Amino acid sequence: MESIQYDVVIVGSGISGAVIAKTLTLAGKRVLILEAGLEAGIALEGEAAYNAYQNYLETFYKAPAKAPNSPYPDLKDAPSIDVLDIVKLQPGKTSTKGYLVQKGPLPFASDCVRGPGGTTLHWLGTTLRMLPNDFKMKSVYGQSIDWPISYDDLKPYYQMAELEIGVSGDVHDQNYPGITPDFFGQQYVFPMKKIPQSYLDAVISKKTNKLKVNLHGKTYQLSCISTPQGRNSVPDTDYPYSKIVWNNREKKLKIEHADPYSNLPSLWDPYTGERCEGNASCVPICPVQAKYNALKTLKKADQKNLNILTKAVVSKVIIDDKTQQVTGIAYKRYTNPGEPEHTTGLATAHVYVLAASAIENAKILLASDAANSSDQVGRNLMGHLVMLTWGLSKEKVYPYRGPGSTTNIPTFRDGDFRSEHAAWISPIDNWGWSWPVFSPGSDVSTAIANGLFGKALRTHINEVVTRQVLLHFEVEQTPDPDNRVTIDPEYVDPLGNYKPVINYNVGDYMLKAFEAAKIVSDQIFAANDLEDHTVYNPVTDPDYVVYKGQGYTFRGAGHIVGTHRMGFTKQDSVVNKEQRCWDHSNLFLAGCGNMPTLGTSNPTLTMTALAFSAAENILKQLEH
């Protein structure tokens, strides 16, 4: 392997790394991926892929808490951030319970998977584009900052992302505030027809769609629309594209028609996972791989141009003092992920890409004293803040069926209120009260504690669980330089690599959105005659906040964004709009860390669009 001359070294095999590796190898470039996770998980076909995945599934079945990371290995030598490690922080106290060193005052509540395929293994699969105003928050609303690129700039890459992931959706349903009719483009359709919406969605939509709600003296009419998703349904024969190719003459990536679109089945069998089968476990694991994951993209790479080195944990980017060029990436390779013994290596190429997740990228750069002339590395850490409300419906709605969410209320994704408070999207959830109160297991234990048994117990469970409604208010967080990742020699993992130290808080702009969202939620509950069971517990909820005397609890959405943002100048940002570090011309950063703001879209689709754009810029640089 030492003798191979690589064009590009990529750190991480999640969706950004996979998209860039696929695009570059198909354009004839030699690529090495350094992946911190285990070898078994990188299997891309046949029995090996099946067996690795079945191990995940069996681990999930046996996990007492079926948290997002529960199916996947947590390695001492390459630890993952896990929501189960989040604890309420005492003032001035630091939590070192998990991989993150949480300094607070609030704990950061999102997690990710550190291993082959990255967090696409446990993502829900929601694939919403960001809205035009999300890219210009400063100029339109006087809040946070503008992106150096616009929605229109990113639009062709969104199309590539939708092809790559395999989005199922109905374009006609996608009416968002603040968009013009050319948001998707004339006659655009998604690769596959929409995922059927749940019965629960239909019941709730009956009284919620077109409901007029009042907020701060203004009336808004709610709409309930189908959600585009990265999981397989029925291919749309009107969808024209099937391929993304590098056009070397024009120096551009092009989305092209080659063959009729065919959906991406499981890695191990072309006849498994062609359609969502309704396992209702998208997070943390789709048993049939009907849901997209990044390994499907890696499988489409030109394998003769691709090497993947697993068990290789990157510790440092090596920079030449004089030229400020990256000369290599130093990694530590463990044999046993539970033991500190390791060998060291240096991966070299012409161009380097960090695609190891927002927090990991920032950590590696800080450890390398790299890319940080702006002092922005690690800053502006953001996530979606999920405020849940839950109640019982008079009519049975039959939750715990279908994908996690198939319908959303987009009404508050954009509007003039954004000069006052944050926007949000409201997915209608299909999985009952499992998230806030661990139903239905908790319903069983409570019933038993109350002495219920036999037919009465069975009836009680039926009556309660089939009526559980959960609404979800996913609030955008704006960038704050004090919400940040740092490193500290006091906190290292067994390989001697830094653990991320997190300072995190939530400002009034978001708290005000919790207040507003709760006002809207109350009106939805009233219109649907839902019996409210929402409880925000000041003692036990780790992310409990108070605004104007009212308490709210938010949870993490698993969207980790903004630690090495792109910007207009070397002073305000870590990367330029080409996603190249201002400080090092042969170092690109990829992933949600590049995003200056986050809007109300689950960020994976935008990250994927950005990854295609980055791949194009890397190819331009290599072909220069």
Partner 1 sequence: MKTPTDHITLFTEISVWLTGFNEAELLATGMLDTYYQALQANSSQDDFSYFFKAVEIILHQNRNDIASTEKAIASMLMPVSAYNGIAGSIITMWYTGNWGNTVISGQAYIQGLVWDAAQTHPPGAKQPGFGSWNMPPL
- The DSSP secondary-structure symbol of 371 reads S
Least separation in angstroms between residue 279's CB and partner 1 is: 4
Start-to-end C-alpha separation, the chain? 27
Amino acid at 72: Y
DSSP string, 522-546: HHHHHHTTPEE-----TTT-TTEEE
With beta carbons less than 8 A apart as the criterion, state whether 241 and 160 touch.
Answer: no
**Which residue is listed with tokens 């030109």?**
302
Residue 611, SS3? helix
The amino acid present at 17, given as its one-letter code, is G
Q: Where are the alpha helices (DSSP H) in 77-144?
A: 137-141
Element (H, E) at 17: helix 15-26
As measured in angstroms, the least distance from the Cβ of 192 to partner 1 is 12
Q: For tokens 């995945």, what's the residue?
A: 53
* Separation CA 452–CA 440 (nearest Å): 15
Q: How far is the CB of 205 from partner 1 (least distance, A)?
A: 13
List all residues 6 or more positions away from 83 whose beta carbon is below 8 Å from its beta carbon. Answer: 67, 68, 69, 109, 110, 111, 556
Name residue, tokens 């709730």.
204
What totals of helices (H) and strands (E) does the chain contain, helices first? 12, 23
In the bound state with partner 1, the residue whose beta carbon lies nearer, of 369 and 463, is 463
Residue 233 DSSP code: -
Q: Which amino acid is at 499?
A: K
β-pair type (424-429, 550-556): unpaired
| Nearest distance from C-beta of residue 284 to partner 1, angstroms | 9
R_g of the chain computed on alpha carbons: 23
Question: Toward partner 1, which CB reaches closer, 202 or 546?
Answer: 202
- Residue 2: strand pairing partners: none
Neighbours of 569 (CB within 10 A): 10
**How far from 116 is each of 165, 238, 354, 462, 535, CA to CA, in Å?**
17, 34, 15, 40, 38
Residues binding partner 1 (CB under 8 A): 57-58, 60-64, 66, 196-199, 202, 233, 275-281, 285, 287-288, 396, 398-403, 406, 430-431, 440-441, 443-445, 448-449, 451, 453-459, 461-462, 465-466
